[in-house]
Amino acid sequence: MKTYRIATIPGDGIGKEVIPAGRQVLEALALSERSFTFEFENFDWGGDYFRQHGMMMPVDGLDALLKKDAILFGSAGDPDIPDHITLWGLRLKICQGLDQYANVRPTRILPGIDGPLKRCKSEDLNWVIVRENTEGEYSGVGGRMHQGHPIEVATDLSLMTRAGVERIHRYAFRLAQSRPRKLLTVITKSNAQRHAMVMWDEIAAQVAKEFPDVKWDKELVDAATARMVNRPASLDTIVATNLHADILSDLAAALAGSMGIAPTGNINPERLYPSMFEPIHGSAFDIMGKGVANPVGTFWSVVMLLEHLGEFEAAARVMQAIEHVTANPALHTPDLGGTATTAEVTAAVCAQVTSTAKSHLTVA
Ligand code: ATP
């Protein structure tokens, strides 16, 4: 029997509630699987670790992760620590250190979820946003001088490399090719940003030649926000820079019903390093400790993790269990207008995974 080594990093805030819930789902799955099991290792990195050690994770933390098959991550963010420290000290350190250059964010309106777009049928909204995850606007290049003085100067350089842009476009075209509609929209801002974004467009056109069966178009990022709201069915796979996709995917999550539902994968496509899966929401301190965090974004991240491991049948079973549960309004958490707790939703998804496992094992 295969054993997958999974690192769990709950991080901060509701990450500490939803990641144990995600682990419960994986454990329920493993109990009923003949061909694989999981070996978990939990890492207590984040805000509390920072208060004790002055850093968000240990200096040799990445070495421990290298030995894993996949990582399940919660969130990084603490009201008492500046956001740029929590973000750069943990999540970005892992994404850049493990070269997880493709950030993949599927968005759909799940059964039973009421999206805010009045004229949008749930089948009209079925997107995957591919975000460049290691350079661009979040390259970290820049600096400040004369701090606090009237002549203070600060820069953040958006750095794009041909290799970095080419590999993310190729990943996005390949993903679009694997989806039924074979449709890709390249998000740009080359009208105003006339150097790096022009190179971004040129490389997209070059890579497109390798994928003659993929239909593709270009959209300015500002126009893309309106198109997502007014013509959602005109989009399928979307590729964008680090900053643009960061913003568009929050919009996508809200249009699909709640920030609590959306998942993401930070992928190293060449599999030289482990990939990391996480709900897109942050630490949500306003609801922390109340037991009402929506765990669906984490469960969907678990589905992506299983797909990445090649366990497609198990992934499909967990996704069906999630959809079975979201279809029941009595199992909606308060962000979806319901009264269910994290524990109730988790128990329902685990029960569904177990019950479908019985038929799955009988048939096998
Ligand atoms: P961070 O600064 O770490 O990104 P944040 O609290 O500013 O986090 P998010 O957590 O991304 O921002 O979400 C904003 C709000 O959406 C939260 O304050 C919370 O009210 C709600 N929310 C986010 N995730 C969930 C969830 N899983 N379940 C319920 N509500 C959520």
Complete DSSP assignment for 148-188? TSTT-EEEEEEE--HHHHHHHHHHHHHHHHHSTT-EEEEEE
Question: Nearest residue CA, atom 15 of ligand 1?
Answer: 284
Residues 150 and 75 occupy one common structural domain? no
Q: Would residue 278 count as lying in a domain?
A: yes
The ligand 1 atom nearest the CA atom of 284:
6
Q: Is 239 helix (H, G, I), strand (E, B) or coil?
A: strand
pLDDT at 357: 72
Q: For position 301, what pLDDT does the model report?
A: 98
pLDDT over threshold 80, residue 314: yes
Cα 2 to averaged position of ligand 1 atoms, centre (Å): 36
**In a shared domain, residues 207 and 149:** yes
Which pLDDT does position 361 carry in this prediction? 57
Structural domain includes residue 8: yes
Please state the atom number of ligand 1 nearest to the C-alpha of residue 297. Answer: 27
Q: What residues does ligand 1 touch, defined as CB less than 6 Å away?
A: 14, 75, 77, 259-260, 281-287, 293-294, 297, 333, 335
- Say if residue 146 is in the same domain as residue 243: yes
Chosen domain end from 238, 255, 272? 255
- Give, in order, the Cα–Cα distances in Å from 318 to each of 22, 248, 314, 346: 11, 27, 6, 12
Q: Rounded mean pLDDT of the chain?
A: 95
Nearest Cα residue to 174 out of 232, 128, 243: 128
Spacing of C-alpha 35 from chain mean position? 27
Ligand 1, atom 31: closest residue by C-alpha: 260
Per-residue pLDDT tens digits for 94-116 = 999 999 999 999 999 999 998 88
The 10s digit of each residue's pLDDT in 221-233 is 999 999 999 999 9
Q: Which among 264, 281, 332 is the best mutation to test ligand 1's pocket, defined by most ligand atoms within 8 Å of the CB? A: 281
Quick one: pLDDT band at residue 246, thresholds 50, 70, 90? very high
Q: Where does a domain end: 255, 278, 306?
A: 255
Instruction: Please answer whether residues 217 and 186 qualify as being in contact, where contact means their C-beta atoms are separated by less than 8 angstroms.
Output: yes
Residue 49 lies inside a defined structural domain of this protein: yes
Query: Does 154 share its domain with 208?
Result: yes
C-alpha span between 274 and 3 (Å, rounded): 15
Q: Quick one: which atom of ligand 1 is closest to the CA of 13?
A: 3
Distance 216 CA to ligand 1 centre (A): 33
Same domain for 228 and 289? no
Q: How far is the CA of 279 from the centre of ligand 1 (A)?
A: 10
Instruction: Please report, for the domain that includes residue 294, its CATH number.
Output: 3.40.718.10
Q: Look at residue 349 and tell me whether its pLDDT is greater than 90.
A: yes
Q: Look at residue 167 and tell me if it is in a domain.
A: yes
Distance 80 CA to ligand 1 centre (A): 16
How many angstroms is it from 364 CA to the middle of ligand 1?
Answer: 41
Interatomic CA distance for residues 148 and 233, integer angstroms: 49
Question: Is-contact 276 71, C-beta < 8 A?
Answer: yes
Q: Are residues 240 and 125 in the same domain?
A: yes
- The residue whose C-alpha atom lies closest to atom 3 belonging to ligand 1 is 282
Residue 350 lies in a domain: yes
Asked if 157 and 142 count as a contact pair (C-beta separation under 8 A), the reply is: yes
Last residue of a domain, one of 229, 255, 281: 255
Query: What spacing in Å lies between the alpha carbon of 11 and ligand 1's midpoint?
Result: 14
Q: What is the pLDDT of residue 364?
A: 47
Based on the fold, state whether residues 235 and 190 are members of the same structural domain: yes
Residues 102 and 27 in one domain: yes
How far apart are the CA of 42 and the centre of ligand 1, in A? 23
Residue 210 per-residue DSSP state: T
What phi and psi, each to the nearest 5 degrees, are found at residue 353?
-60, -45
Q: How far is the CA of 190 from the centre of ligand 1 (A)?
A: 32
Nearest protein Cα to ligand 1, atom 4: 282
Indicate if 286 and 157 belong to the same structural domain.
no
User: Is position 357 within any domain?
Assistant: yes
CA of 9 to the centre of ligand 1 (A): 17
In a shared domain, residues 56 and 6: yes
Q: Which atom of ligand 1 is nearest to the CA of 280?
A: 11
Residues 44-71: tens digit of each pLDDT? 999 999 999 999 999 999 999 999 999 9
Provide the residue type at 119 as one letter.
Answer: R
Index of the ligand 1 atom closest to the CA of residue 250? 11
* pLDDT of 121: 86
| Six-digit token string for 318 | 């967990």
Residue 102 located in a structural domain: yes
Instruction: Tell me how far apart the alpha carbons of residues 162 and 144 are, in angstroms, rounded to a whole number.
Output: 27
Is residue 235 within 8 A of residue 185, CB to CB? The reply is yes
Host domain of residue 216: 116-255
Tell me which residue has its CA closest to atom 12 in ligand 1.
Answer: 282
286 near 260, Cβ under 8 Å? no
In the beta sheet, which residues pair with residue 277? 72, 265
88 plus 129 within the same structural domain: no
pLDDT surpasses 50 at 239: yes
Whether the per-residue pLDDT at 131 is higher than 80: the answer is: yes
Q: What is the pLDDT of residues 160-216, one digit of tens each?
A: 999 999 999 999 999 999 999 999 999 999 999 999 999 999 999 999 999 999 999
User: What DSSP character marks residue 57?
Assistant: S
Regarding whether 136 and 200 lie in a shared domain, the answer is yes
Pocket test for ligand 1, best of 259, 298, 326, 335 (most atoms within 8 A of CB): 259
Residue nearest to atom 9 of ligand 1 (CA): 282
| Of the listed ranges 156-160, 257-261, 293-297, 298-302, the one predicted with least confidence | 257-261
State the total domains in the chain: 2
Alpha carbon distance 44, 9 (integer Å):
6
CA 10, CA 24: separation in Å to the nearest integer?
Answer: 13
| Model confidence at 362: pLDDT above 70 | no
pLDDT value for 325: 96
Long-range contacts of 93-96 (CB under 8 A, 24+ apart): 93/56, 93/57, 93/61, 93/62, 94/9, 94/57, 94/62, 94/65, 94/266, 94/276, 95/133, 95/134, 95/266, 95/276, 96/134
Sign, CA torsion 344/345/348/353: negative
For the ranges 108-122, 132-146, 255-269, the lowest mean pLDDT is seen at: 108-122
Whether 111 is covered by a domain: the verdict is no
Q: For residue 261, which atom of ligand 1 is closest to its CA?
A: 27
Nearest alpha carbon to residue 133 among 173, 178, 87: 87
